[in-house]
A and B are shown apart, each in its own frame.
Chain A
Amino acid sequence: MSVRFTRRGLLKTGAGVTAALAMPSIVSAAGHKRFEGKTVRLLTWSDNTGLAILNHIAKPFEEATGAKVIADRTGSTSEMVAKLRASGGRAQYDVITLAGVGAVELSKDGLLAKPDLNQLPNLQDVDPRFRTGADGHGIGYLLWTGGLVYNTKTFKSPPTSYAEMWDEQYADRLFLPPATWTDALDTIFATSRMLGGDGRDADAALAKLGELRNRLLTFGENPTQLVELFRSDALDIGGVYAPAFFAKELADPANSNMGATYDVEEGFFADLMYTIMPKAKPGEDDVVHAFMNYTLDAKVQGVMAEAVLNGPINQKAEMSAAAKASPFIIKPEQLGDKAIVHDKEFIADVREDWIKRYTQTLA
C-alpha cells in the first residue's frame, strides 16, 4: 500500500515525472516489471476490433508491465450495456471498450467511476475534442467511422452520394445497417441530409427510407454474411456501415469485391469510442489506469488504426506509410466539414424512437 501511496504523491508533482513513470517501456528497461502479479479484466467487442485489442494492446501491455490481461471478447455495445446493467454493482470487469452511446447510458445509471486524468499522461497528446466524454466517465479511445460499402465489380469509381442506394438497378442487391446499431441512426441522419435537411428530420428521412423496404436484400446484422454475399457478387451497395469490419477484405478487392468510401457528398460519420471503468471493479486502480493510458500510446494508436481502420485520436500516432495513405483510416485532422459527429445528448434523446420507427418502416 505504501508503494502505491508514494506513487500517487509523485504523480502530482509534475507531468514530466508522471509521464516517465507511466511509460511502461522505461520501467521494464530497468529490469523490474511494475505490475507483476496484477490483473486487468477487460471486456471488449467480439468482432475483429476486439481481436486486434488482444494482439496489439493487451499482449504488449502484458510484456511491458508484467500484468496479466484477461479479456472477455463477447458482444456488441448494447449487449455489454444490458449485461452491466443487469449485474448492477457486481461488475466483473476493470476496463470496458465501447461505443459512445453506451458510455453515456452507463454513466447516467451511475455505474461508472471517473478515471483520474493525472494518471493518464498520454491524454496530453490527444486532440482536445476527443479526450473525455460521458460526463468525465469515458476516456477517448479511437474513432469509429461509417460510410458507404460497395461492390468494386459494379462501381468502377466509388459512389459519391447516399442517393446511389435508391437507384432501381440495385434492388435486391442492397443492404442497410440493423435497427439496433448506431449506424441505423446514422443512416436516418444521412438520408435527411440527402434530402437537404440538417439530419434531424426523421419524418422525411424515414419516408424516403421506406422506399427501400422491398428492395432490401438483408440487414447487415452479421458482417461475415455480408462478406460472403459480396464475395459471391450478390450485393452492390449498403450503408451507413463501418469499413472497420472489413479490414482484411478491403485490402483484397480482387477476391472480396469489396470497397468502401467516406468521400460522400452528405458526409461520413465519426463516433468517439471510449474506455470506461466500472465503479465496482475487481482490479487495482494503478494497473487499470496504466492500461487505459496504454490504449492512447502513440505507437498503439497507430497500430490499431492500421489493424481495424479506426481513426486514431492521439495526434502523434505513429502510423506506417501505408496506413497514412489508406483511404479507409480517417486521421483526426481530416475531420473537417465532411465528418458528422453526433451530439450525444441529442442521440440519447431520439434513440429509442428512431430505432422503433426504423424497424417499423423497413422490416
Chain B
Amino acid sequence: MFSSLFSTRGGSYSFVIFFLTTLGLLISALPVIVVTLMSFSAAETAAFPPAEYSFRWYEALWAQLSSDESSSAHSLGDAMFTSVLVAALVMLIATFVCVPLAYALVRGGGRVRAGMELLFTLPLVFPLVILGIAFLLIAESLALDLGIWRLVIPHVALVLPFVLRNCMSAMNGIDIEIEEAAISLGASWPRAFLDVVVPLMKPGILAGLIFALIISFNEFTITFFMYTIDVSTLPIWMYSRTVSSLDPAVLSLSVGIILVDVVMILIIDKIIAGRASLF
C-alpha cells in the first residue's frame, strides 16, 4: 500500500511516522468528531457523550430551513447563497489572475520575482481585524454601492498568497523545453501556454482553488466589518446564532456546513482533475 517514501519494514522510523501522523490527524479531527456526536444527541442538555442518539436536531434544523422567514432576520438561505456566490467568484478571479502571474514569475525570475513574492505574501501577514476596519473605512469614504463586491474584493486579496504559492510550485516543475518544443512544432505562444503549460499546472491550480474556496466560504473577520444587512454570509449568520446559545441545532448546522464544504471540494476535484487528482 505504501511506496518507499517511508518504508513499511518496521522499526522505530515507521513507528514514529505513524505515531506523529495519527497525532496530527487526531488534533485536526477531534473537535469535529465531538461536535458531530453531539449533533446526534437525543437529549435536550449538552452532556457528553450523549446517552442516546437521534435525528431530532437535524429535523429541527430542517424545519427552520424550510420555514425560514426572510422578514425578521437575515435569512439562512440568503446567507448561504451569498456565501457560495462570493466563494465561487473569489475562487475564479484569484485563479484567473494567479496562473499567468505564476508563469511570468517562474519564467522571469530574478529580483522582480523575489519582490513580487514578498508583495503577494503580505495579505497573510496583516492582522485581519485591522484590515477589516481599513477596508470598511475606505469603502464608506468612497461612498460606492459595491453590492456583493464589498466582500469579493477583500476576499480575493486574502486568498492570493495561497493560490499564487500553489500555482508557482506547480509551475516550478514544468520544464521550459516542453514549451519550446510546442512552439518549434508551430504552436503560437498563447496556444503553447494554454494547451501545454496550463494542463501541467493542474494539481497546483486545483490546490489553489480549494484553498480559495475554503478560506472565502468560511472567512469571518473581514466579512464582519464589510457585510451589510443585504449582503451577509453564512459565518456571520452562524455568529449571530452562537454567541450565547449553542444548542445542538447549531451543531447539526455546523455538520451540514462541513458537508457542503466537502462536497464543493470533491466537485472541484472532479471537474478540474478528473482521475489524476490532487488527493
Asked if A and B touch directly (CB within 8 angstroms), the answer is: yes
- A69–B74 Cα distance when bound, in Å, is 10
Say yes or no for B12: interface residue by CB 8 A criterion: no
Say yes or no for B64: interface residue by CB 8 A criterion: no
Is B240 a contact partner of A50 (Cβ separation < 8 A)? yes
Say yes or no for B228: interface residue by CB 8 A criterion: yes
Say yes or no for A70: interface residue by CB 8 A criterion: yes
Chain B residues 247 to 268 lying within 8 A of chain A, measured CB to CB, are: none
Say yes or no for A322: interface residue by CB 8 A criterion: no
Chain B binder among A137-145, A222-230, A287-295: A222-230
Interface size on A, residues (CB 8 A): 38
Query: Closest residue of chain A to B140, judged by CB?
Result: A87
3 shortest interchain CB distances as A-B pairs: A47-B244, A224-B246, A223-B244
Is B225 a contact partner of A74 (Cβ separation < 8 A)? no
Chain A residues 40 to 69 lying within 8 A of chain B, measured CB to CB, are: 41, 45-48, 50-51, 54, 58-59, 62, 68-69
Say yes or no for B229: interface residue by CB 8 A criterion: yes
Interface size on B, residues (CB 8 A): 27
Is B143 a contact partner of A68 (Cβ separation < 8 A)? no
Is A48 a contact partner of B229 (Cβ separation < 8 A)? no
- A58–B73 Cα distance when bound, in Å, is 9
Task: With both chains docked as a complex, state the minimum distance between the C-beta of B213 and any C-beta of chain A, in angstroms.
Answer: 24
Given contacts A86-B225, A92-B228, contact A69 B72 (CB under 8 A): yes
Is A231 a contact partner of B71 (Cβ separation < 8 A)? no
Say yes or no for B136: interface residue by CB 8 A criterion: yes
> Which of A45, A74, A90, A256 contacts B143, CB < 8 Å?
A90
Say yes or no for B133: interface residue by CB 8 A criterion: yes
Say yes or no for B16: interface residue by CB 8 A criterion: no
Say yes or no for B245: interface residue by CB 8 A criterion: yes
- A41–B232 Cα distance when bound, in Å, is 14
Chain A residues with CB under 8 Å of chain B are 41, 45-48, 50-51, 54, 58-59, 62, 68-75, 79, 82-83, 86-88, 90, 92-93, 222-224, 227-228, 231, 245, 248, 255-256
Given contacts A71-B73, A83-B136, A231-B46, contact A223 B243 (CB under 8 A): yes
Say yes or no for B239: interface residue by CB 8 A criterion: yes
Per-residue interface assignment for chain B, residues 133 to 146, with 1 indicating a CB less than 8 Å from any chain A CB and 0 otherwise: 10011001101000
Say yes or no for B211: interface residue by CB 8 A criterion: no
Is B71 a contact partner of A62 (Cβ separation < 8 A)? yes
Is A46 a contact partner of B243 (Cβ separation < 8 A)? yes
> Which of B140, B228, B236, B243 contacts A222, CB < 8 Å?
B243
Chain B residues 194 to 217 lying within 8 A of chain A, measured CB to CB, are: none
- A59–B72 Cα distance when bound, in Å, is 7
**Residues in chain B near residue A248, CB distance under 8 A:** 245
Is B72 a contact partner of A48 (Cβ separation < 8 A)? no
For the A-B complex, the count of residue pairs with Cβ-Cβ distances under 8 Å equals 77
Say yes or no for B120: interface residue by CB 8 A criterion: no
**Residues in chain B near residue A41, CB distance under 8 A:** 229
**Residues in chain A near residue B244, CB distance under 8 A:** 46-48, 223-224, 245
Query: Closest residue of chain B to A228, judged by CB?
Result: B46
Is B136 a contact partner of A87 (Cβ separation < 8 A)? yes
Say yes or no for B66: interface residue by CB 8 A criterion: no
**Residues in chain B near residue A93, CB distance under 8 A:** 229
Is A48 a contact partner of B245 (Cβ separation < 8 A)? yes
Is B72 a contact partner of A71 (Cβ separation < 8 A)? yes
Is A54 a contact partner of B245 (Cβ separation < 8 A)? no
Query: Closest residue of chain A to B136, judged by CB?
Result: A86
> Which of A46, A69, A82, A231 contacts B240, CB < 8 Å?
A46
**Residues in chain A near residue B133, CB distance under 8 A:** 82, 86
**Residues in chain B near residue A222, CB distance under 8 A:** 243
**Residues in chain B near residue A47, CB distance under 8 A:** 243-245
Task: With both chains docked as a complex, state the minimum distance between the C-beta of A11 and any C-beta of chain B, in angstroms.
Answer: 28
**Residues in chain B near residue A70, CB distance under 8 A:** 71-72, 74, 229
